[in-house]
Amino acid sequence: MTPQDTPEHSTPLQIIPLGGLGEIGLNMTVFEYDGVILVVDSGLMFPEDYMLGVDIVIPDYEYLRENKERVAGIVLTHCHEDHIGALPFLLKDVPAPVYATPFTIALVSHKLEEKDLLSRVDLHEIKPRESFSIGPFHIEFVRASHSVVDGVSLAIRTPAGLIVHTGDFKITHGQLDDEATDVSRLAQLGEEGVLALLSDSTNAEKEGYTLSESEIGATLEKAVRDSSGRVIVALFASNVPRLAQIVNIAAKTGKKIVFNGRSIEVSMRIAQELGYINVPPGMQIDVSEVKDYEDNEVLLVTTGSQGEPMSALARVAAGAHKQIKIKDGDTVILSSKFIPGNEKAITGIINNLYRRGAEVIYEKISAIHVSGHAFREELKLMMHLTRPRYFMPVHGEYRHLLHHARLAEKVGIPKNRILLAQNGNVVNFLDEVGWIGESVDTGRTFVDGKGIGDVGRKVLKDRRALSEHGMVVATMVLDFDTGVVIYGPELLSRGFVFEDEKGHLLQDAQCVIMDAVEQLDLSGPDRIPLIEAATQQALRRFFNYVIRRRPVIVPLVLEV
């Protein structure tokens, strides 16, 4: 079926990814039926190398802003930043009730309180296997194992059929705790009949199964026991299962434990309040008390495993932390994956830690981290459990989506029922038939300080030019009546050439400007923009010819 075959009176279910397809992060998906919009997740991504000065990146949700009266609710699968980081920005423009599990709600509440939004947002706490309705959508939370507690997949019942959205998940054999993926419920949904499966593609290239947390726990415990000095463990603040492991290891090895870093302190407080972690009385100490104990009695837990420049670990590595100074015998464990794009910053911290005398353990030399995303055998198992009529890979770069689509074909899903969509594509379902239709505008919005969306490609291009070639400011003052240059041109450069080398170069550049200006007709009212354009053009040619550099040229022309 195609859109032309659709009866006028029929209403298709539409699924519109606004982020998360063809990229890591920015996860946001719209479900729309009969004028009602349901949003699943609202994530951010951290800036790539070319995004100079940008703090974070969020999806362009102009489609939701334009249709905010129709947005009936926002559902969150779990509390990682790539799924909830853009929520405060979205809620400012698109007020809507939010539905999530207890731990996710607690972290979201903290975020919204920081932005003075908490009192304006209706938060609903939903537990796994509980159901609720948003307009025509009847949603059930299904427990999903991930590198954070309270992760869920979504069973979304719509008038067009049942949709299963996995969120981020893994299926680890031998995991019997309360955080294991609810495979029995997924199998029941498969028996019921799944119209479409939207499945996490992050690790679609990796063969086999993910390691179990118990294997990682044994490696971590050995590293702690083998250390002769202090142990510092850096990880994601939201990785509560790993935090619980480390607390247990500290208790077994008789160490005092310190939590340092604002985000990790918030996660620990929430995890203890909700009963996910129990720290034995007297075991936790403040960072200021570390000096009162022998080195081999202390285990510090902190953030900064991704090389974040202002994190506690970055300050420790740089020797700038007030209370923690690295010394011989210390062991630093980076218990997290190197996120693509962060490798340079992470290796910089590792090198600095080694220089200061620490032993560093990280994923490339030891099994101290397990992915929270399913490997290929687990992805196949998800398809076998749910037995979907249609399959749509989500969450990943294009290569991940493509490998996942090919895997689905190998499992037996017909190629014409595998929907390889891109951000902005409108995926339609009607009468058990699915197709990719037209697209809506989407993209990335840069957040820089308090500015949201005011940094675009031109600004980034200028920043890169400034970083690579510097800047030259050309100042001139004209006589208001005659247009004659009465001062200048004076040239000021920054980041362009060394001070003792630029004298003759800038003097020659002054002559180049005067030659260009003398050829202009300055009798008209538009002489200032004429001079600015001629100055830019002349200097660009001159600098490129003389020293093969292209600084940013800023002409400043005044009239008196």
- Residues annotated within the binding site for Zn(2+) are 78, 80, 82-83, 146, 168, 395
| Binding-site residue set for Ca(2+) | 53, 55, 448
Residue 554, classified by CB atoms within 10 Å of its CB into exposed (0-12), middle (13-18) or buried (19+), is: middle
Determine which one of 373, 403, 404, 469 is catalytic: 373
Phi, psi of 10 (to 5 degrees): -85, 145
**CB contact at 8 A, 31 and 56:** no
Which of 467, 442, 446 has its CA nearest to residue 455? Answer: 446
Alpha-carbon separation of residue 120 from 94, 132, 199 (angstroms): 11, 21, 33
**CB contact at 8 A, 26 and 44:** yes
**CB contact at 8 A, 83 and 41:** yes
| Binding-site residue set for substrate | 237-239, 369-373
Helix/strand/coil percentages in the chain, nearest 5: 35, 25, 40
| Binding-site residue set | 53, 55, 78, 80, 82-83, 146, 168, 237-239, 369-373, 395, 448
Q: Determine how many CB atoms are found less than 10 A away from the CB of residue 42.
A: 30
Cα 198 to Cα 81: distance, rounded to the nearest angstrom: 20
* Paired residues of 156 in beta bridges: 139, 163
For 245, how many CA atoms within 13 A lie in the half-sphere containing its CB?
A: 25
* Paired residues of 429 in beta bridges: 13, 434
Beta strand residue intervals within 41-193, DSSP E: 56-59, 71-75, 98-100, 123-125, 131-134, 137-143, 152-158, 161-165
Task: Classify strands 98-100 and 71-75 as parallel, antiparallel or unpaired.
Answer: parallel
State yes or no: cis peptide before 489, omega within 30 of 0: yes
Question: What are the residue ranges of helices labelled H in 151-200?
Answer: 183-192
Look-up: residue for tokens 């991704």? 306
- What six digits make up the tokens of 103? 């731990």
Look-up: residue for tokens 């947002």? 121
Alpha-carbon separation of residue 232 from 77, 170, 326 (angstroms): 31, 28, 10
Look at the alpha carbons of 527, 532, 536, 539 in this order and tell me if their dihedral is positive or negative. positive
Which of 111, 338, 124 has its CA nearest to residue 235? Answer: 338
Q: Determine how many CB atoms are found less than 10 A away from the CB of residue 217.
A: 19
Cα 45 to Cα 28: distance, rounded to the nearest angstrom: 12
Active site residue 431: no
Determine which one of 41, 182, 200, 330 is catalytic: 200
**CB contact at 8 A, 173 and 212:** yes
Cα 246 to Cα 233: distance, rounded to the nearest angstrom: 8
**CB contact at 8 A, 496 and 542:** no
**CB contact at 8 A, 139 and 73:** no
Active site residue 384: no
Phi, psi of 72 (to 5 degrees): -95, -20
* Residues with catalytic roles: 200, 373
